[in-house]
Amino acid sequence: MDWGTDLWDQYEIIEKHTQSGLDLVEKYVKFVKERTEIEQNYAKQLRNLTKKYSPKRGSKEEQECRFSNHQSFLDALNEMNDYAGQRELIAENMMMNICIELTKYLQDLKQERKTHLSEAKKAQQSLESTYKQLDCSKKRFEREWREAEKATQHAEKTDLDINATKADVEKAKQQAHMRSHVAEECKNDYAAQLQKYNKEQGQFYFTDMPLIFNRLQDMDERRVQKLAQGYVLFSDTEKHVMPIIGKCLDGISRAGSNVNERNDSLALIEQHKSGFERPSDLEFEDYSQGINRTSSES
Amino acid sequence: MDWGTDLWDQYEIIEKHTQSGLDLVEKYVKFVKERTEIEQNYAKQLRNLTKKYSPKRGSKEEQECRFSNHQSFLDALNEMNDYAGQRELIAENMMMNICIELTKYLQDLKQERKTHLSEAKKAQQSLESTYKQLDCSKKRFEREWREAEKATQHAEKTDLDINATKADVEKAKQQAHMRSHVAEECKNDYAAQLQKYNKEQGQFYFTDMPLIFNRLQDMDERRVQKLAQGYVLFSDTEKHVMPIIGKCLDGISRAGSNVNERNDSLALIEQHKSGFERPSDLEFEDYSQGINRTSSES
């Protein structure tokens, strides 16, 4: 079963079907392009988010990074930034390996389809032209035999006419003979045209058009294969970066595990311990000593 | 090493540090909230994309789905839609398990910190008040002993004065004795106040404040632990859905592999085959037969 044999009379269907196939590829390219835009936008938002929450150089927040719970937030932000980079990579690879690749392929297919269809049209026109010649030739043959018939009847009638001269009879017979000769030539021409047409028609239906339709089928099957590869690439592109995205997530988990609350408490002590002793008891200030002294001296 | 012992004189540092810790939790919650918004937005865009490219019910595109290369695009779109659902799940789980949870925890911590700081303030004020009493008592003692001294000197002077009456001498001595007695009582009061103050100061620096500072340290360490858990949850939430996202991607790959270009060609044949035979040779239409007959009859 192939299009050349089984769809020999479905030129328009094949024309439409192959167009619809190219349309699907075009649609898929557009779909992937829009996905890459979403992905780029997503990555950009993630990058802006990490930037917004990362401490400025020399800021108070940066100094806080001596505490592990601050430092780990910064580490997580950095991993998020790498994560965003991987989403950008997905967008870029989809654009390169699917959109650009399929668009190029699509151009070639469009050209190829156009060539096949124009060859089919040319073959069709050639057959039609031959048919017209045949029809013309056939009609001339019909007309000439009618004329020859009339000339023959006229000659017979003249021959039977008692008033006709011998010269009249001879002239009518010669006319009839000439007409029959012309008609015979037209018949031969018609027979030759018919043979030519039948040969061309056979060539058209059994060789030329099947070849063109099968080429279109082959083209369409190649298109389908390429498109199917494009579907697989769509997920492969993302699967490819998933381990790296997994590593970014591991990095965030590790940042969380690296937080040490005890060390953070000790870091505060190290930074701010004055080293002073706590105040000891106030001493008794005995004003009465002076007085007692005076009293005892008195 | 603990804050109560080593940072006994760093109330303001501890106050600021615990505030900065709560600020970091608040900042982290805000960060995660913004991430969930990005994630929701991303998911929404993916959903809109799949909707835009999915065929309408009963449309020409839906009918094309008898062809595997059209059907697989639809399958890939459906997987993308599930994918978007997983991104939404990430956003929802981050919101529930990090933002809402940490916000609630933050409220409790703020309350707890306020309680500890106000207890510290109360203890400080109480010690200051006791000190004022001590100071007051000490000054009275000083003043009264000065008065007693003066009275004693006056009595001595009167005793040596040859113009003074016995009554004057007796009165001055009584006055001096009374003043000394009052001063003695003030001295005792001062001694009692000093003992009270020293006891309270010891309690303040060696028991009460260390306890409060250590509670603040404990609170801050719990905050750091909780925040660290929040960091880990941030990546765990996404790690949790990664296998399902992987399955969506596998589904897209499978959709690509399910495409069968040969079957698609045959489906077109099945749908559009007319079953007609290709045209056979045109037959020769011999107009001359009639004429020949006529000729032979003549």
Per-residue pLDDT of chain B (298 residues; tens, 9 = 90+): 999 999 999 999 999 999 999 999 999 999 999 999 999 999 999 999 999 999 988 888 888 999 999 999 999 999 999 999 999 999 999 999 999 999 999 999 999 999 999 999 999 999 999 999 999 999 999 999 999 999 999 999 999 999 989 999 999 999 999 999 999 999 999 999 999 999 999 999 999 999 999 999 999 999 999 999 999 999 999 999 999 999 999 999 999 999 999 999 999 999 999 999 999 999 998 877 754 444 433 3
Q: Do B256 and A9 touch (CB under 8 A)?
A: no
The single-letter DSSP state of residue B67 is S
**Residue whose pair of structure tokens reads 């199917």 in the numeric block:** A228
How much is the pLDDT for B290? 58
In this prediction, the residues of chain A whose per-residue pLDDT falls under 70 are 290-298
Phi, psi of B290 (to 5 degrees): -55, -45
CA gap B273, A8 in Å, rounded: 9
Q: Which of A277, A72, A1, A73 is nearest to B272 (CA)?
A: A1
How much is the pLDDT for B57? 85
Q: Which of B220, B217, B226, B228 is nearest to B105 (CA)?
A: B226
Q: Do A13 and B234 touch (CB under 8 A)?
A: no
Structural domain count, chain B: 1
Q: Do A183 and B288 touch (CB under 8 A)?
A: yes
Q: Which of B107, B297, B120, B97 is nearest to B216 (CA)?
A: B120
Q: Would B291 be classed as within a structural domain?
A: no
Q: Which of A31, A180, A181 is nearest to A102 (CA)?
A: A31
Q: Do B261 and A228 touch (CB under 8 A)?
A: yes
Q: Would B292 be classed as within a structural domain?
A: no
How much is the pLDDT for B297? 39
* Interacting residues of A78 by C-beta distance below 8 A, sequence separation 6+: A50, A251
With an 8 Å Cβ cutoff, is B225 touching chain A? yes
Distance of CA A280 to the CA centre of its chain: 85
Q: Would B298 be classed as within a structural domain?
A: no
Q: Would A279 be classed as within a structural domain?
A: no
**Residue whose pair of structure tokens reads 């100094």 in the numeric block:** A63
> Which residues from A are below 8 Å from B242, CB to CB?
242, 246, 249
Q: Determine what percent of chain A falls in helix, strand and coil, rounding each to the nearest 5.
A: 90, 0, 10
Structural element, H or E, at residue A265: helix A261-272
State whether residue A161 is helix, strand or coil: coil
**Residue whose pair of structure tokens reads 């002076």 in the numeric block:** A290
With an 8 Å Cβ cutoff, is A34 touching chain B? yes
Check if the interface score ipTM surpasses 0.90.
Answer: no
Q: Which of B60, B41, B57 is nearest to B49 (CA)?
A: B41
Residues recorded for chain B? 298
How much is the pLDDT for A287? 77
Contact indicator for A101, A29 with CB cutoff of 8 Å: no
Minimal Cβ distance to A288: which of B38, B187, B284: B187
Q: Do B35 and A49 touch (CB under 8 A)?
A: yes
Output the CA–CA distances (angstroms, integers) from residue B229 to A100, B95, B289, in the order listed.
Answer: 44, 14, 106
Q: B284 is written with which tokens?
A: 């020769």
**What CATH number corresponds to the domain at position B248?**
1.20.1270.60
How much is the pLDDT for A240? 96
Q: Would B13 be classed as within a structural domain?
A: yes
How much is the pLDDT for A288? 73
CA gap A248, A84 in Å, rounded: 10
Output the CA–CA distances (angstroms, integers) from residue B157 to A156, A196, A221, B165, in the order listed.
Answer: 200, 168, 135, 12
Contact indicator for B28, A73 with CB cutoff of 8 Å: yes
Q: Which of B278, B227, B242 is nearest to B22 (CA)?
A: B227
Minimal Cβ distance to A228: which of B69, B187, B250: B69
* Domain span including residue A51: 17-268
CA distance A122 to chain B (A): 19
Q: Would B141 be classed as within a structural domain?
A: yes
Q: Do B249 and A238 touch (CB under 8 A)?
A: yes
CA gap B186, B177 in Å, rounded: 14
> Which residues from B are below 8 Å from A238, CB to CB?
249
The single-letter DSSP state of residue A259 is -
CA gap A204, A119 in Å, rounded: 11
CA gap B55, A274 in Å, rounded: 74
Q: Would B157 be classed as within a structural domain?
A: yes
CA gap A169, A175 in Å, rounded: 10
Q: Do B265 and A221 touch (CB under 8 A)?
A: yes
Q: Would A278 be classed as within a structural domain?
A: no
**Residue whose pair of structure tokens reads 């009963």 in the numeric block:** B58
Q: Do A149 and B294 touch (CB under 8 A)?
A: yes
Minimal Cβ distance to B287: which of A79, A145, A279: A145
